[in-house]
Amino acid sequence: MNSVIIENISKSYGDVLAVDDVSLTIEKGEIFGFIGPDGAGKTSLFRMLTTLLIPDKGNATVEGFDIVKDYKKIRSAVGYMPGRFSLYQDLTVEENLHFFAAVFGTTIQENYNLIKDIYVMLEPFKNRKAGKLSGGMKQKLALCCALIHKPKILFLDEPTTGVDPVSRNEFWDMLGNLRKEGITIVVSTPYMDEANKCDRIALMQKGKIMETDYLKNIISRFPRKLFAVKSDGMFVLLNELREYQFANSVFSFGDSLHYSDSRENVTKDNILEYLNTKNHGNISIEEIEPNIEDCFMDLMSK
Amino acid sequence: MKRFFAFVVKEFKHILRDYRTLLILFGMPIAQILLFGFAITNEIKDAKIAILDFSKDNVTQEISNKILSSGYFLLYKNLNSIKDIEPAFKEGIIKEVIIFEQDFSKNLSKSNLANVQIIADASDPNLANMLIGYTSSIILDYQKDLSSGKSLPPLINTDIKMLYNPNLKSVFMFVPGLMAVILLLVSAMMTSISIAKEKELGTMEILLVSPLNPLQIIVGKVIPYFFIALINYIIVIVLAKFVFLVPINGSFALLVLESILFLITSLSLGILISTISNNQQTALMISLSALMLPTIILSGYIFPIENMPLPLQIISNVLPAKWFIIIVRGIMLKGVSFSYIVVETLVLVGMTLFFILLSVKKFKIRLE
């Protein structure tokens, strides 16, 4: 069963092509992540799926409803959390929740079990104005408000942007729990490390989907061997590796460089050999498993 | 219905929690009417004048006394020669000099003709006009007194009567305009800002992705401001009637009904503005520059439309406030019945329908 079916959708603003011929399907009950940098077209895609924008080309259905013709039905069926905090700052936590429950024709009590885990964390602040909450709390409240009418599918546009790492983890745990309730969760994020919290992901760049699959499948398709390289002079090392005739890509990752080689049967000794001619101290080379960022970089360079 | 009710409750909360705006909303009408009532006046009171009397006989004395006892003028000094006039004006205190010719009384009784000259400081032309008007009417009045009881026909008989505002009380003139401005400000400006605010803060995005339909959103936005404007309106009426004693010569019910009509016109204008503005600032700028300013200047609120150049007179027709001011002046001051203001009422109804139709057409059910 599919929750969302997107067929060849495009959207442009003037000359800027925001979403470029995107097609994919999202299954019922999965956590699907759109991962890509700012300006990749994630928000435009979300707004089309939530009926806020009309695509220039192509069509899509959400829960079986056409996003243009059946927009009213979609609007009652989905929960939507925009990228920007969009609750009423001058209303309290409880009032916001009450308002959104009433707007969707339900009550807090009716669907309390769905939001219970999240709401207990908010409860001590229930009489505080929403504008005075911390970033993480705001996101939790926004999630509660998007959930209160028990939507079949939840669209979360960059819910963890600007939120501290602890709150981010908590937030993903909550999404994991919601998945158990059978709610399809479509989420977008610029953080690559959140990819492993999703069931399936789509890597997005400049309006195009570069790859859609399970994370491990995407990683297994990484075409080359990858090494983590370190030495005393990291900056010089970066330049020298880039000058190496067999180098495919060299990127800086935290305290090491991720180096991929264009040769098929390369070993770390080959690289060591080259670097030894260059006068480096404390060289360490290790073959590693690529992570999602490596894959993204690789796909981007294509 | 429950949805809609929740929405209206939310709107009231927004308004009631914004103390500053609330203070302005209710303080402004009171401040405005007090200002216009007490401070800004077109009336003359205790204008300082100088008198140059070459004759110094009993007639000039009587005329002078009559002028000075009118309450409009205050004698600042007596002048002795023509040369004193210029310096007296340059002092900047006196606004007018009255000059009686030599042998004033003799001339009057001998040849039935005596000359008095009035010189006014026309750097403020309106004031100068009024001063001269007041002075000459007092002199004419004296002339009439003089001629009565005599067999000779009156020398000049000019009947000056200030219709509808016999005391030239400017507050009578301002109240109708003030009502228009306040109703417009509260309804049009506040409604447009409040809808634009939802767009600016991004909450419109979630309201759109909800079962609320556009009509519920708009009407829900409008209702609280309808009541606030109504309360303001009552404050203005009460102040006008009991503090400034502005008469309501016509039917009070008719006045209220017409005002509610204008209120709806203003609200629909506010909705229209909000459909074309994406943030509060734009809504505010459009309301202020395209609505408030023309209304204050061109609607006949302060400046009479008849005195404007023809192009501006034509433009003034598109302002709802112009028609409303005509209606209110008609009902309050002239005491006319509905049949005299049918055209104006129909114009307002037409404008309202036009604004509503246009806003419904322009309201976006999506983001673009």
The secondary structure of A129-145 as a DSSP string is: BGGGS-HHHHHHHHHHH
Asked if A40 and A163 sit in the same domain, the reply is yes
Q: Could you give the CA distance from residue A91 to residue B14 in angstroms, rounded to a whole number? A: 8
Q: Which residue among A219, A244, A273 closes a domain?
A: A219
Rounded Cα distance between B266 and A23, Å, is: 48
Would you state the structure tokens that stand for residue B12, as one six-digit string? 């009231």
Strands A31-35 and A184-189: parallel
- C-alpha to C-alpha distance for B271 and B261, rounded to whole angstroms: 16
Examine the domain organization and report whether A150 and A258 are in the same domain. Answer: no
| Pairwise CB contact (< 8 Å): A71 & B365 | yes
Same domain for A173 and A249, yes or no, is no
A18 Cα to chain B: minimum distance (Å): 14
**Whether residue B41 has pLDDT greater than 70:** no
Tell me which of A116-120, B3-7, B36-40 is least confident.
B36-40
Residue A244 contacts B where some CB pair is shorter than 8 Å: no
Q: Which residue of B has its CA nearest to A103?
A: B3
Q: What percent of chain B has pLDDT over 90?
A: 23
Distance CA A299, CA B4 (A): 49
Average pLDDT score over residue span A267-276: 87
Please judge whether A78 and B208 are an interchain contact, meaning their C-beta atoms are less than 8 angstroms apart. no
Residues A156 and A174 in one domain: yes
Question: Are A247 and A152 members of one domain?
Answer: no
Q: What are the backbone dihedrals phi and psi of residue A249, each rounded to the nearest 5 degrees, phi first? A: -150, 145
Strands A200-205 and A256-261: unpaired
Report how far residue A42's alpha carbon sits from residue A210's, in angstroms, rounded to the nearest whole number.
13
Domain range spanning residue A149?
A: 2-219
Encoded tokens for B167: 């005391």
Q: Which two tokens stand for residue B157?
A: 């008989």
Residue B162's pLDDT band (cuts 50, 70, 90): very low
The chain B residue lying nearest A85, using CA atoms, is B202
* CATH number, domain with residue A232: 3.30.70.100
Mean pLDDT to the nearest integer, B296-321: 86
In angstroms, what separates the C-alpha of B359 from chain A's closest C-alpha? 19
Average pLDDT, chain B: 83
A173 and A238 assigned to the same domain: no
SS3 B149: coil
Considering A190, A219, A248, which residue would you say is the last residue of a domain?
A: A219
pLDDT of A270 strictly over 80: yes
A226 touches chain B (CB under 8 A): no
The answer to whether residues A133 and B33 touch, using CB atoms and an 8 Å cutoff, is no
Handedness of CA A265, A269, A275, A281 (dihedral sign): positive
- How far apart are the C-alpha atoms of B46 and B56, rounded to whole Å? 23
- Specify the residue for token string 């417009």: B184
pLDDT of residue B40: 59
Domain total in chain A: 2
Instruction: Say if CB A174 and CB A143 are below 8 A apart.
Output: yes
Tokens of B205: 């995005």
pLDDT in tens, B59-85: 888 888 888 888 888 888 888 888 888
**Are A114 and A76 found together in one domain?**
yes
A12-41 confidence digits (pLDDT tens): 999 999 999 999 999 999 999 999 998 899
Burial readout A172-203 (b: 16 or more C-beta within 10 A, e: otherwise): bebbeebbeeebbbbbbbbebebbebbebbbb
Do residues A46 and A63 both lie within one domain? yes
Mutate to test the interface with A, among B12, B208, B210 (most CBs of A within 10 A): B210
**So what's the ipTM on this one?**
0.85
> Residues 197..236 of B with a Cβ closer than 8 Å to A: which?
201-203, 205-212
- Across the interface, which of A72, A80, A91 has its CB nearest the CB of B13? A91
With the CA atoms of A275, A277, A282 and A286 taken in that order, what torsion angle do they form, in degrees rounded to the nearest 10?
A: 30
Q: What is the DSSP secondary-structure string of A187-219?
A: EEES-GGGGGGSSEEEEEETTEEEEEEEHHHHH
- Residues A180, A246, single domain; the answer is no
Q: A102 and B3: CB-CB below 8 Å?
A: yes
Mutation target to probe the B interface, by most B beta carbons within 10 A, among A16, A47, A67, A75 is A75
Q: In the predicted model, what is the mean pLDDT of chain A?
A: 91
Contact between B164 and B335 under an 8 Å Cβ cutoff? The reply is: no
- H runs (alpha helix) in A23-92: 42-49, 71-77
Confidence of residue B151 (pLDDT cuts 50, 70, 90): low
Cβ atoms < 10 Å from Cβ of A8: 13
The pLDDT tens digits for A94-105 are 999 999 999 999
Give the domain-ending residue among A203, A219, A235.
Answer: A219
What residue ranges define each of the domains in chain B, with the CATH number in brackets? 2-40+169-362 (no CATH), 47-147 (3.40.1710.10)
Chain B nearest CA to A140, separation (Å): 16
Q: Taking a C-beta distance cutoff of 8 angstroms, is the pair B334, B163 a contact? A: no
Judge whether residue B173 has pLDDT over 50: yes
pLDDT at B153: 42
pLDDT of B254 over the 70 cut: yes
CATH assignment at residue A63? 3.40.50.300
pLDDT for the residue B95: 83
Biggest CA pair distance of chain A: 73
The Cα–Cα gap between B183 and B265 comes to 10
Q: Comparing A181 with B146, which gets the higher pLDDT?
A: A181
pLDDT at B161: 38
Q: Are residues A180 and A228 in the same domain?
A: no
Assess whether pLDDT exceeds 50 at residue B158.
no
- The reply to whether B364 touches chain A by the CB within 8 Å rule is no
Residues A10, A118 share a domain: yes
- Which of A47, A102, A146 lies at the smallest CB-CB distance from B367? A47
Same domain, A195 and A120: yes
Q: Which of B3, B201, B209 lies closest to A80 in CB terms?
A: B209
